[in-house]
Each structure stands twice: as C-alpha cells, then as structure tokens.
Amino acid sequence: MTDHQFLGVAEFPDKNEIKEALAKKIHDLDFENDIETIFDYIKCSKRIVPKKEIVTVENDPVLTDEYREIIKDFGIEGFDTPEKLIGYFTSLYDNPSLRFHKLLWKSAIDSLSIYDYNKRLDYVIPVVEFLCKKSFIKPEVLRLIGESLPFEALSAEVFKEDNPFWAKYNFVCGLLQSKNIEFELYADILNTGQFTSEELDYMFTQLMISSVEYRNENYRQAFSILHQQIADDIKPAFIVEREFNILHKIISLEKKEEVPQIYLSRIKNAFEKFPDHEEFLYLRIKILFESNPPEKFREQVISALKIIPGHSKCLFLLGKCYMKLGISKTALTIFENLMEMHPLNVEYVTNAALATRQYIDSCFKVSDQKSQNKAYYINIINFLTEKKLFSEIPHFASKISEEDNDLKALLLYAKDAETFLLTGEKDKAALLKAIDLASDKEVVRKIKEYYLKELIIGPDYEEENKFIRDYYQENAANAVANYKMALFYFGLNEIENAYTYFLKSKEINPSNIRNYIYLARCSNYLGRSEETMAHVSIYLMHNTYDVMANEIYCDAAYSLKQYKNAYEGTKWLLSICNDNERDAKYFFYFTASLSLYLSEHNEKYYNLQYVNEMLGLYDQYPKPNDFWTNDNGSTSMYWAATLCYQIGHYEKGAEYLQCILENTKEHNWNLTEKCLQLLAECLLGLEQYDRIIELIEPQVLKVLEKNQYDVSVSQATFYLSYAYFAINDHESRMKWALTSVYCFMQAENPDTAWAENYLVNNLAACLEFDVKKSIIPIGKAYLEIVKTPNPNHIWVAYTLANAYSANGEQNEASRYYRICFEFGTLFPGVYTEEIKYAEQFLKTFHQ
C-alpha cells in the first residue's frame, strides 16, 4: 500500500487535501491506546510531497521583479526637481498595492544618478521632510535612498539642538541607519489589500510601540497597546497572534492558577473572528495547559488535535499532559515520535528521557502484581535493553525462574548489548547460543535483529549470507528482514535486487526513513531520475543536513532539467559542507544550473546583483584539491564565466576563462574550445580586440599545427578575423576568415549558406580595402565550397579573373572569365556588365 492509499489522498494532493485526509483518519481514534496508529498517519502525511504552488517571478531572487513592466505606465523620465520626486514617492506610498514594490522606488532613485553632487543635495531636505511623515518603507528602499543622496553634507549645518530641523534630520538619519529592519517583519503580512495607507501606518506604529515595551519587559503595557489602540473590527490575525504570545508570557511569569478573565475573553473573541486559525488554536491550548487541570486539558488538547492533527507543539503538550496523569508509556511514545520527526529539538529529547524514567518507575511499582505474567517481564527486559538501561534489568529478571530458557537468552542478549555499547564488539557465539535457547518467537526475532544490527555493508553481509537468508525466510513479511536482504544485495552491487527489497521494506514499514535514502541511491545508480527525486525528497524532509542525500537530490534535479531546484539544492549543499567535503561536482551544478535556469527566462528579468552575489559565493568557497584535474571543476568555472557573460560582466568572465586555459588539463579540448569561443565573446563585449588576438591566437595556432583545419577552432578563428578587422589589419583579417571557413566546413553538417555569404562579404572587403593577395584564395575557396550555381558565382569568377589578369597570369584569367561567362548563361539578366566584359576578353584573348 502506498502512502497516498494509506492516507486516502490523490496522487498530487495540495496541502489542504492532506490536512483534511489526516484529520478524517484520526478523528475516531483513541489518543491513548491508538497513539502509534495516529503517528503512523501523521508521519505518512509528512512523507507525501504536496503539489507545488506556482512561484511567480516576483518571488524568485534569481530574477528581478515582474513589476519591471509596470514602470512603463509611470512614465519615468527623470525627476529634475525635488517636487516631482516627492510627488512620485507620495503616489507610491499612499497606494498600498504599490508601496512595497521595490523596483518602482528604485527606478526613481536611480534616475537621480545623472545629476551632480550639488544638484542631488537639493533633494535631501525634501526627502527628510517626506520620511518624517511617511517612514514605513522597506529596508532595501531606505538603503537605496541613503546611498543616492548626500545626507551627511547637512550634518554640520543642522547639528544644533535649537534648530527645528535638527529633530527631523536626526530621526531620518536613525531611520536610514537602522533601515527599518523590524518593520520588514510586519510589512507584507499586514498589507493584505484590505487596509488603506493610513490604516496600515497606524497599525505599524502601534506594533512598533508595543515591541519597544516588550523589549523593556513591560509586558502588560505591550499587550494593552495592541488590545486597546487597534479596534477589534479591523484588527488582523497577525496582531491578535502577537497579543496571544504576550498573554502567554504574562501568564508564565505571573504563574496564576487561573487565567484572568480579560485573557479568556480575548481568546473567545479571537476564535469567533478566526475560527480556523491554526496558530490561534495552538496558542489557546498553550494558555489552557498553564491553567487547567490535566484531566480537563486532555479533552481540550485532543479536541484541538482533531482539527490540527499534525501540530507537533500540540502533540508535545498532550505528552506533557499524559506525564502529569502518570500515563508515561503513551507520553514516551509521543516524545519518541516527535524526536524522530524533529531530531534537533532538545525539548523532545529531554522529555522522552523523563517519560522513560517515569515509565520504568511505574513498572517497578507494579512488578510484584505481575508475578505470573512472564510475557510482561520479557517485554520490560526487551525495552530496557533497547534503551540501554542495563542496570535495571536484574530486578525484573528476578521475577522469572532462573531456569527459564527465554530469560537466559534475553540475559545473554542484554549482556552482549552492554558490551557492544562499551567496546563496539559482539560475541556472536553467545548470541547464537541465545537464539538456540529461546523458544519465544518474539525473543528469537529480537536477538536476530540485534545480531544483524551494525553490520558493515559488503564484508559482514557476505560473511553472514546464510544467516540473513534464513532470517528472511522466517520473516519474509517483516520490514527488517527485507531491509537486511536489500543491504546484502547492495553490498554485492546487485542494485536492481537491492532496490526490490528496499521497496518491499518501505511498503511494510514506511516509517523507516533509511529505506528512502537507499532507494534514492539505487534509483540514481540505475538512472531513474524521477524515482530518485521522489525518494530523496522524502528523506530530506527528515534529514535536511545529510550531504550525500543533498548531492543525490542535485543529481536528479539536474538530470530532469529542473535547473532551479538543482541550483537551489547545490547552494544549500555547499553551505552545509565542511571545507574538505566540497566535491568539484557541487561547483559544477551550482554554476551550470543557475546559468541554465537564467537561460529559460528573458534577460530583462535577470537580477544582476543577486547573480553577482552567487558568483561571490562561488569564489569564496575553498575548492577541492582535484579541482583542476577533475573536469567538473574546470567546467564549473566555464559556467561561472557564462553567467558573467549573461549579465554583461565581461571582465570577470574573461578572468575565469583565462584561469581555465592556464590550469585545465590539455586533453580536455572540448572545454578549451568552448572557453576560447566564450573568451572571444567576452572580449568583444569589452571591445578589447588586441586582447582577443593576444590571448586566443596562440591557443588556436597550437591546434592548427596538429590539424590544419580543425573544426573545434572554427568559432575562435571567426572571432580572430573580426578582431583584426576592428584594428584595421585587413590582411590578417582575411587570413583568419579563410581559415575559419575551412574549419567550419569540417563539421558533420556544415552550413554552406553561411559559408557562401561569409566568403562573398570578405571577397568584397578585399576589393574595398585593397587586400590583393587574399582575393584569389578566398575566391577559389568560394567556388570549391559552394557547389550549387547561383548568381554570386558570376561575380566571384569575374573577380578572380580580374585578379589573375592584374598579376599578368592571362591563361588563368581566361579560364575564370570563361567560367564567369558560362555561369552568366545560367542566370540571364544578372551581372550583365561583368559577363559582357568577360565575353570581350575571351574574344580578344583567342584572336
């Protein structure tokens, strides 16, 4: 059964569908006796990857805001007076739908750069006056304002306390320095479109005042400001949530036995207004936990969990409630499951330890009442062995007859587990003896599972081949048995078989997250990228910092051409690695994926600042020792150079490419070929033609020494020809143009039409710039390459004939005049003067 079938959802559910299905599944379950089943459903819901929401361009940091198009409607042509600028600022500020669109502010601020220092100084005082009245602007906009205008120029002039402008200037300077960082937390949350600009400013003001009181530990005052100063009928959920957090702080500090009536009333009002708000429900439960007896609270928290069943904090409070009620086994189950779902949460770990202790103490208390119940003591000893609490075992072992073989087997198992904890070594002979002694099937299974635990993939699994197979035959429907068989085949590199058994293990016990990473590794090895992505995405939900899993995710994303996912995954991967863990492949995915993702979009949306920041990260991370001997390393730098070219940062791109050409392996000519081409394009962008010749010509000549017309340098030779044209060296230009054509023609399917046009243009240039010695080679190349006759053949043959005639080679001239004349018969009415001359020459020549 798949997770989707188990939870009862479609293949691609959205978040709400998952939540509703989960609530439906657990609604009638008992939150004490069925707690394991409840967690099975909860963990199942966490493993299902919800349908992704469409991310708009405006939320993508790699790209600039899609609102770039909006600017057109504002007719921004520069603001040549402060009044025009302030009028525009006011129109943005007073419109809540536009106030927080950075690009609309940036376009106006950037337009001031055309003015000199003194002109920009005229804008400072009006902008100060504006910001004193309208200060709730995002930090990035304040930064732009601060960097664009010379505010510091006024400091000496206004630095007098009796100057009325001093207070305003001081306020704005503080605003520009702090950049409204705290305000940004509220800006987008409150700007939902339901409030006017004045209402937004009023709420922002009260929030900021309340925050000051809270930081000063005046919690009651912080609460009163939000409670009394903002009317309930317009108060949004975010502010009510802030009130609840402050309430909880007050209750926790004052430790009141009963919640004050004003708090209860506030909660009641909030729930009437926002009945489905998940966070309010939790905050209410948190407050009730502090004030209600556990019997009553249990009913309240279970009612809440039936609405928000996967809420970890509510589940935690239920566990704490069970601890108060002495129901420690259920509490332990809750905390252990929460630990599994949130392994970095110390509070869950601590409470799991407390629940374990409470549960064991409760077992001590009732142990004498269970004297006839052997199964009870066996379960307790198993539990203590798994928890590594070996000192507690003798008490419970004493309740069973010393002659009992199951007890003897369990004690051998427990003793070996304790030794293994200290030394890392197992006494396999003792464990095999324990297996032979035991008659209880559950005891046998436990010992066998322990026997197979911590085996090293490969040698240990081969050594225990028979044991593993026997264990599987006995427990073919057991998840652990299938998992061990999978690891056995994985060690033998029989990946297809390993995948089959991992899949069976996952279907039996979907909660074993290790299945997902091995399924991802197997499917990645087998080249099944979609399956790899599905498995590793689930594993990463629980193991965000796993380097190998993140690498597999990037492998799959890149193979599936999900370049945005590949880039973001690699950015995260590079950030979590230690310096000695960063593989050259990670750098390749980082730059290649970002470049290819950008290529999917129109270049007008490229966020140049962000891409530059990412290139800074690329430079910042230490490279592995094999960076230059590993193709991924040098290729990653090629893609970094491509990014530079895409955003117009040609100088940086040229630096990357020179670095590659100096360091890369000689045999990697494919990369060198690409680098030469891109280097030429970068230098063309910089109009540095001498550098094109200096850097590229020696590399190309090395290649042509081995192969006169190597197709790999066709593009480079083309750029060399262009560079020589740019510096008016037309002889060298024609030499490289001719080489370029012959190199291009070595391609598998050369573009003859391009060659024809290129040769005709260069032949014409030979005549224009009087490059006489290149006329004949270029003309002959044209007739050799362009086999299908067309009118250009008339002109080319005519030009060749003239060149030979000028050289005194009349026989050759006669041959090409004849060719000119013959082509002329194929295309009557074209180049009539040339044909007429050729005909006259031939008559004279043969007389």
The DSSP element (H or E) to which 291 belongs, if any, is: helix 278-291
Q: How far apart are the first and last CA of the chain?
A: 99
Q: State the average pLDDT over residues 284-313.
A: 90
Q: How high is the pLDDT of residue 370?
A: 62
* CA–CA distance, 592 with 738 (Å, rounded to integer): 34
Give 231-247 pLDDT, tens digit per residue.
888 888 888 888 878 88
Distance of CA 236 to the CA centre of its chain: 32
pLDDT at 670 over 70: yes
- Is residue 628 very low, low, confident or very high in pLDDT (cuts 50, 70, 90)? confident
| Residue in the block written with tokens 């912080």 | 222
380 part of a folded domain: no
For residue 654, give both structure tokens: 């040229």
Give 745-760 pLDDT, tens digit per residue.
999 999 999 999 999 9
Give 425-443 pLDDT, tens digit per residue.
999 999 999 999 999 998 9
695 part of a folded domain: no
Q: How high is the pLDDT of residue 162?
A: 58
Q: Is there a contact between 592 and 635 (Cβ–Cβ < 8 Å)?
A: yes
Give 700-714 pLDDT, tens digit per residue.
998 899 889 989 889
Q: State the average pLDDT over residues 371-378.
A: 80
Give 498-528 pLDDT, tens digit per residue.
999 999 999 999 889 999 999 999 999 999 9
148 part of a folded domain: yes
Q: Is there a contact between 37 and 29 (Cβ–Cβ < 8 Å)?
A: yes
Average pLDDT, the chain: 88
Instruction: From 703, 802, 718, 711, select the one nearest 761 (Cα to Cα).
Output: 718
Domain carrying residue 113: 57-179
For residue 99, give both structure tokens: 């106030």
Q: What is the DSSP string of 418-454?
A: HHHHHHS---HHHHHHHHHH---HHHHHHHHHHHHTT
- Is residue 319 very low, low, confident or very high in pLDDT (cuts 50, 70, 90)? very high
Q: How high is the pLDDT of residue 668?
A: 65
Q: How high is the pLDDT of residue 577?
A: 93
Number of domains in the chain: 1
High-pLDDT (> 70) share of the chain, %: 92
| Surface-to-core class of residue 422, CB atoms within 10 Å of its CB (0-12 exposed, 13-18 middle, 19+ buried) | exposed
Cα–Cα distance list, 36 to 33, 338, 676 (Å): 8, 12, 63
- Is residue 255 very low, low, confident or very high in pLDDT (cuts 50, 70, 90)? low
- Is residue 221 very low, low, confident or very high in pLDDT (cuts 50, 70, 90)? very high
Q: How high is the pLDDT of residue 69?
A: 45
| Surface-to-core class of residue 272, CB atoms within 10 Å of its CB (0-12 exposed, 13-18 middle, 19+ buried) | exposed
Q: Is there a contact between 397 and 377 (Cβ–Cβ < 8 Å)?
A: yes
378 part of a folded domain: no
* CA–CA distance, 752 with 736 (Å, rounded to integer): 18
Looking at per-residue pLDDT, the higher value among 171 and 223 belongs to 223
125 part of a folded domain: yes
216 part of a folded domain: no
pLDDT at 294 over 50: yes
Q: Is the dihedral of CA 131, 133, 135, 136 positive or negative?
A: negative
Q: Is there a contact between 322 and 351 (Cβ–Cβ < 8 Å)?
A: no
138 part of a folded domain: yes
- Is residue 399 very low, low, confident or very high in pLDDT (cuts 50, 70, 90)? confident
pLDDT at 413 over 80: yes
pLDDT at 300 over 90: yes
pLDDT at 203 over 70: yes
* CA–CA distance, 237 with 186 (Å, rounded to integer): 12
Determine how many CB atoms are found less than 10 A away from the CB of residue 413. Answer: 23
* CA–CA distance, 201 with 207 (Å, rounded to integer): 10
- Is residue 663 very low, low, confident or very high in pLDDT (cuts 50, 70, 90)? confident
Q: How high is the pLDDT of residue 51?
A: 58
List of E strands, 376-516: none
254 part of a folded domain: no
Instruction: From 282, 270, 350, select the one nearest 311 (Cα to Cα).
Output: 282
Looking at per-residue pLDDT, the higher value among 98 and 553 belongs to 553
Give 56-77 pLDDT, tens digit per residue.
444 556 655 444 444 444 444 5
